[in-house]
Amino acid sequence: MTAKNITLNGSRIHIKDVISVAIHEKQIGLSNSKKFKKRIDDGAKLIQYNLTHEKEIYGVTTGLGDSCTRPVSTKLMSQLPYNLVRFHGCGLGELFDYQTSRAILVAQLNSLSKGYSGIRREVMERLVWFLNKKIVPAIPQEGSVGASGDLTPLSYVAAAVLGERSVWENGKVVSVADCYERKSIRPLKLLPKESLSLMNGTAVMTGVACMAYHRANYLAKLSCSLSALMVECLLGNRAHFDARLFTAKPHPGQVKAAKLISCSLFNTQSINYRIQDTYALRCAPAIIGVLFDALEWVREWTETEINSACDNPLLDIASGDILHGGNFYGGHIAFAMDSLKNAVANIADLIDRQVALLLNDKRNRNLPLNLSGADEDTLPANHGFKAVQIACSAWAAESLKNSMPASVFSRSTESHNQDKVSMGTIAARDSIRTLELTEQVAAGAILASTQALDLRIKSGVIARRDISKPVLNLYESIRAFSPMVIEDRPLEDDLKTLLIEMRKQSIPVL
């Protein structure tokens, strides 16, 4: 195996570590330390010891969920882990993409690495193999209520270990059995408790939460650069970003947003500015600042979840006790993702209002109606960014509609055993969808604002030499693939290219 960049040994990891494996495809491995190996091995041995001594263990010597009162005979015990995987094979909806599936695997591996689950290192190494060979289970998005963990989606991870269902390989979904055959890899057999260990916990919602955090953090910075460009194109009042204002109300995120906007403003003072701009410009630091501040505690809560043992039951290796509880409950991730999507939806609303100002010739300080770049003789037949503004409003509205918290929609399931569930995975998926929509609003706004900047340069109101370096970098990255709109043309391809670059985080931000 090639050199490992991330080594799991039961110690704390961070969202950036998950992202480095999920997106940047860094290698991952389990620690070779004797202490780590012993902890994992002792957990597996403890399960076997309890079985030998005929002690009761949920999901091993008993049925599952509300069926826990039903004993499972020794004869059936080896079949139970397979049945658990198979009857949970009812996931529907779109598949999580390749990168998100990788984040899910990292989250589950790190939870298992805490040594509370009684799973063999051999099984954990198979998850490592998936990641390092860039072959990951294909996981449907729908079917989890977020307690007892992400059972249905994680059954697709356990199934892949067994050689069943499908995996992502080279950008395609293929049979894992065929993949194993081509790679000369044998499916693993799962011992009692091991399928439960693979399927229990909050790894799906947590992996998705890591991806959401990563995207939202970039979006917050991009929103600052975009707001600065909007201020300049609308000849706004720079005094709204005076640091003294934010000393008087020092929410850290608001201070950060104001500083980033201020650093992106141009090198000349706008003339004939209004004493007070509309809220979409003046209050941008306050609005974006909420997202920055939310990201701080979202990161903290998500990293606590990443570094937790979320299985049930848990093993206390020191005492030999089997601890039955509810660490699979995803309430913290649910609340974090519900909150994050609300902060992100407010960014969609902010940017949509900025675009509306930019296109309205009654509010945009003498820019052409709809930012049309057409010459006077063809101007009546050209409508510039009119449709982009309508689309931005549609995307913003859907983003706002999506802000209803998922965590309050708990359902009683499974014979009223799972009678209060977290809905954490739905909240995390909602957060991703809200981000997608808000990124679309931002993409429309970036194309519109670079058009406005070209129009200001053409009219002589703004000199290219005075544009700040951060905004110039952003502008040039856009103009590399999307020229100024003179005569009306479809902008779908420009928007799609911009979204790809935004999601790779290659559009420059401070």
The per-residue DSSP string of 96-108 comes to PPHHHHHHHHHHH
Phi and psi (nearest 5°) for 123?
-70, -40
Contact 400/345 with Cβ under 8 angstroms? yes
Q: CATH topology of 6-200 equal to that of 210-315+324-503? A: no
- Distance between CA atoms of residues 449 and 453, nearest Å: 6
Residue 112: CB atoms within 10 A of its CB come to 28
Contact 42/57 with Cβ under 8 angstroms? no
Specify the CATH number of the domain 6-200.
Answer: 1.10.275.10
pLDDT at residue 350, rounded to an integer: 98
pLDDT at residue 66, rounded to an integer: 84
Mean pLDDT of 268-288: 88
Using the 8-state DSSP alphabet, how is residue 241 labeled? G
pLDDT at residue 1, rounded to an integer: 36
Mean pLDDT of 116-133: 98
Residue whose C-alpha is closest to residue 399's, from 346, 356, 353, 444: 346
The SS3 call for residue 300 is: helix
The SS3 call for residue 409 is: coil
Cis peptide before 313 (omega within 30 of 0): yes
Say if strands 28-30 and 6-8 run parallel, antiparallel, or are unpaired: parallel
User: With bands split at pLDDT 50, 70 and 90, how would you rate the model's confidence at 270?
Assistant: low
Residue whose C-alpha is closest to residue 114's, from 330, 302, 306: 306
Q: Which residues make beta-bridge pairs with 314? A: 323
Contact 312/274 with Cβ under 8 angstroms? no
Mean pLDDT of 184-203: 95
Residue 86: CB atoms within 10 A of its CB come to 16
pLDDT at residue 226, rounded to an integer: 98
Mean pLDDT of 216-220: 98
User: With bands split at pLDDT 50, 70 and 90, how would you rate the model's confidence at 414?
Assistant: confident
Burial degree of 290 (CB within 10 A; 0-12, 13-18, 19+): buried
Per the residue annotation, which of 58, 82, 180, 273 is the catalytic one? 58
> So where are the chain's domains?
6-200, 210-315+324-503
pLDDT at residue 93, rounded to an integer: 98
pLDDT tens readout for residues 12-57: 999 999 999 999 999 999 999 999 999 999 999 999 999 988 889 9
- Distance between CA atoms of residues 371 and 367, nearest Å: 7
Specify the CATH number of the domain 210-315+324-503.
Answer: 1.20.200.10
Contact 42/114 with Cβ under 8 angstroms? no
- Distance between CA atoms of residues 165 and 131, nearest Å: 17
- Distance between CA atoms of residues 103 and 22, nearest Å: 5
Q: Which residues contact 315 (CB under 8 A, 6 or more apart)?
A: 43, 46, 47, 115, 116, 117, 118, 321, 322, 323
pTM for the full predicted model: 0.96
Higher pLDDT, 386 or 510: 386
Catalytic-residue membership of 116: no
Radius of gyration of the chain (CA): 26
User: Residue 502: what residue type?
Assistant: M
Residue 449 pLDDT > 90: yes
Q: What is the mean pLDDT of the chain?
A: 95
Say if strands 6-8 and 140-142 run parallel, antiparallel, or are unpaired: unpaired
pLDDT tens readout for residues 56-101: 998 898 988 888 889 988 888 899 999 999 999 999 999 999 999 9
